[in-house]
Amino acid sequence: MPTIRVVALLLGCMLAASCTTKPPTSDARVCDKLDALAQSVQPGQSKTVRLVRGGTWMVDHYKKCEHVDGDAAAEQFCQWLIENSSTEFMEVNINRTVSCLQGQRIVGYIGNTSVESWSGKARFSMPKLTADVEVEIEYSVDYVTNEKEDFIQFKVIAD
Report the DSSP beta bridge partners of residue 136: 123, 155
| Rounded Cα distance, 134 and 5, in Å | 50
Distance (Å, whole) CA 132 – CA 130? 7
Tens of pLDDT, residues 86-139? 888 888 899 889 888 887 665 555 555 567 788 999 999 865 666 789 999 999
Is the pTM higher than 0.85? The answer reads: no
Average pLDDT over residues 48-67: 90
